[in-house]
């Protein structure tokens, strides 16, 4: 079971309330999908500039593996107030610790609720279905 | 492929401009919820496409290219000349794309390998084998191989990349048929034309994916939108964004 202290998108981003802000990252499943277990397959991550306003569901960045480019989608709308720039130079963080050190952006949300997102149990079902292919 | 049986849309758009080549693929990528679409095309004039994240300055061949465009997919640069290009746009939940990226490549590449075999080309996945076409410093896709790439004659002959966006996946494939002065030393299959190879690929996909492919043309609305999106992929600011 994945952490239940946060909420999820079916496109495999997570969102965690942290005071007045929301931390956003991608799940271990997203990393596995892109890298297929070989972390060297992740080659580039493009994160947004500070101060950018984004809408819920909007693309805030992109991540590239050897064979695919995937969008990073915002679970909540708001202002980008912090970016984890360490990821851009150390993509291995995403494989070793996607839940804590691997956070990507901190958003000051226009609405603080995460109720529109999936809980851990519902997300687990999405992953199970995807793995059943 | 289990569970892949579905109704497909089929587009053949020969000798298209770089704008239409890339723009129409982006239109198809954005059509979440639409039927899966298989598209075959060739380029006119010959064009060099940069990978989405590539630095312009790291691809010396841009100086010799007739036209340059930046793809939405990643990877290295490709000189689109003497090749069959194909794209497959489908929802991420489609059996072709469900799950990790690597197996989805293997599903697509299995039919490409079989189709090439019908024309006497002994193609296979590279796996752990070494190839002679890998060259450092050119930034070209065909000069950098991975285990999932299709090779023959000890050289890479098919370039592939994917874009995954908002629940839809676009898979690009370039199959080399003729030599290019910007991509020396790569494999090629000169005995078959782009149109004939497209027919063979279609037959393989119909058989192996149990699909029904309905021949269609881009709509006027799709073409108009493709021109706008495609022009952006050729714009100087986008080409030199990195």
- Statement: residue A104 has pLDDT above 90: yes
* pLDDT number for residue B4: 54
* pLDDT number for residue B99: 81
- Cα dihedral sign, B94-B97-B100-B104: positive
Sheet-wide strand order for B78-80: B67-70, B47-50, B78-80
Distance, in angstroms, between A33 CA and closest chain B CA? Answer: 4
* pLDDT number for residue B1: 58
Q: Which of B30, B53, B76, B127 to mutate to test the interface with A (most CBs of A within 10 A)?
A: B53
Q: Which residues in chain B are closer than 8 Å to A44, comparing Cβ atoms?
A: 53, 74
Residue of A nearest to B148 (CA): A67
Which of B69, B112, B141, B161 is flagged as catalytic?
B141
* pLDDT number for residue B3: 46
**Taking a C-beta distance cutoff of 8 angstroms, is the pair A110, A23 a contact?**
no
* pLDDT number for residue A73: 96
* pLDDT number for residue B5: 62
Give percent of chain A above pLDDT 70. 98
Determine whether B141 is an active site residue.
Answer: yes
* pLDDT number for residue B2: 46
Residue B143: name the closest of B153, B155, B127 by CA. Answer: B155
**Residue-wise pLDDT tens digits, B136-181:** 999 999 999 999 999 999 999 999 999 999 889 999 999 999 999 9
* pLDDT number for residue A67: 83
* B69: three-class secondary structure by DSSP: strand
- pTM of full prediction above 0.90: yes
Does residue B242 sit at the A interface (CB-CB below 8 Å)? no
3-state SS of chain A is CCCCCCEECCCCEEEEEECCEEEEEECHHHHHHHHCCCHHHEEEEECCCCCCEECCCCEEEEEEECCEEEEEECCCCEEEEEECCHHHHCCHHHHHCCCCCCCCEEEEECCCCCCCCECHHHHHHHHHHHHCC
Mean pLDDT by 10 residues, chain B (242 residues): 73 98 98 96 98 96 97 96 98 89 94 98 96 97 96 98 93 97 96 98 96 97 98 95 88
Residue of A nearest to B164 (CA): A70
- Show Cβ contacts of residue A65 under 8 Å, excluding neighbours closer than 6 positions: A34, A35, A41, A42, A43, B74, B101
Does residue B29 sit at the A interface (CB-CB below 8 Å)? no
Q: Which residues pair with A52 in a beta bridge?
A: none
* pLDDT number for residue B53: 93
The average confidence (pLDDT) of chain B is: 95
* Confidence category of residue A108, pLDDT binned at 50, 70, 90: very high
* pLDDT number for residue B98: 84
CATH 1.10.540.10 corresponds to the domain A8-128: no
- Give me the domains of chain B, ranges plus CATH numbers: 7-239 (3.30.930.10)
Is A67 close to B74, i.e. CB distance below 8 A? yes
Task: Give the separation between CA B107 and CA A81, rounded to whole angstroms.
Answer: 42
Residue B163: name the closest of B49, B44, B60 by CA. Answer: B49
Q: Which residues in chain A are closer than 8 Å to B98, comparing Cβ atoms?
A: 130, 133
**Residue-wise pLDDT tens digits, A63-99:** 999 889 999 999 999 999 999 999 988 999 998 999 9
The pair of three-digit structure tokens given for residue A10, joined into one six-digit string: 């079916």
**Residue-wise pLDDT tens digits, A5-64:** 999 999 999 999 999 999 999 999 999 989 877 888 899 999 999 999 999 999 999 999
* pLDDT number for residue B94: 93
Q: Which residues in chain B are closer than 8 Å to A65, comparing Cβ atoms?
A: 74, 101
């Amino acid at each position: 079971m994945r952490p239940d202290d946060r909420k999820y998108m079916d496109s495999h981003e997570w969102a965690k309330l942290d005071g007045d802000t929301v931390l956003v990252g991608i799940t271990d499943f997203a990393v596995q999908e892109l890298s297929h277990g070989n972390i060297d397959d992740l080659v580039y991550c493009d994160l947004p500039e500070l101060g950018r306003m984004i809408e819920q569901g909007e693309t805030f960045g992109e991540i590239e593996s050897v064979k695919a480019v995937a969008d990073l989608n915002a679970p909540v709308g708001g202002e980008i107030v912090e970016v984890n720039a360490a990821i851009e130079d150390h993509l291995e963080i995403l494989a070793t610790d996607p839940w804590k050190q691997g956070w990507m952006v901190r958003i000051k949300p226009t609405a603080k609720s995460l109720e529109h997102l999936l809980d851990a149990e519902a997300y687990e079902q999405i992953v199970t279905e995807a793995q059943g292919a | 492929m289990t569970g892949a049986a579905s109704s497909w849309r089929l587009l053949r758009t020969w000798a298209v401009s770089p704008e239409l080549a890339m723009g129409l693929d982006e239109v198809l990528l954005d059509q979440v919820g639409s039927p899966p679409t298989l598209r075959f095309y060739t380029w006119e004039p010959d064009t060099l496409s940069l990978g989405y994240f590539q630095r312009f300055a790291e691809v010396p061949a841009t100086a010799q290219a007739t036209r340059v465009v930046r793809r939405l997919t990643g990877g290295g640069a490709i000189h689109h000349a003497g090749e069959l290009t194909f794209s497959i746009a489908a929802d991420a939940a489609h059996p072709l794309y469900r799950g990790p990226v690597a197996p989805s490549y293997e599903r697509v590449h299995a039919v490409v390998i079989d189709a090439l075999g019908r024309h006497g080309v002994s193609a296979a996945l590279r796996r752990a084998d070494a190839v002679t076409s890998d060259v450092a410093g050119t930034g070209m896709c065909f000069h950098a191989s991975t285990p999932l790439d299709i090779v023959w004659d000890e050289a890479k002959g098919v370039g592939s990349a994917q874009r995954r966006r908002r629940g839809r996946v676009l898979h690009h494939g370039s199959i080399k048929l003729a030599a290019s002065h910007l991509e020396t030393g790569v494999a090629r299959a000169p005995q078959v034309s782009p149109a004939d190879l497209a027919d063979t690929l279609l037959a393989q996909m119909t058989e192996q994916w149990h699909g029904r492919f309905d021949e269609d043309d881009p709509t006027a609305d799709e073409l108009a939108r493709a021109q706008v999106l495609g022009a952006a992929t050729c714009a100087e600011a986008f080409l030199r964004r990195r």
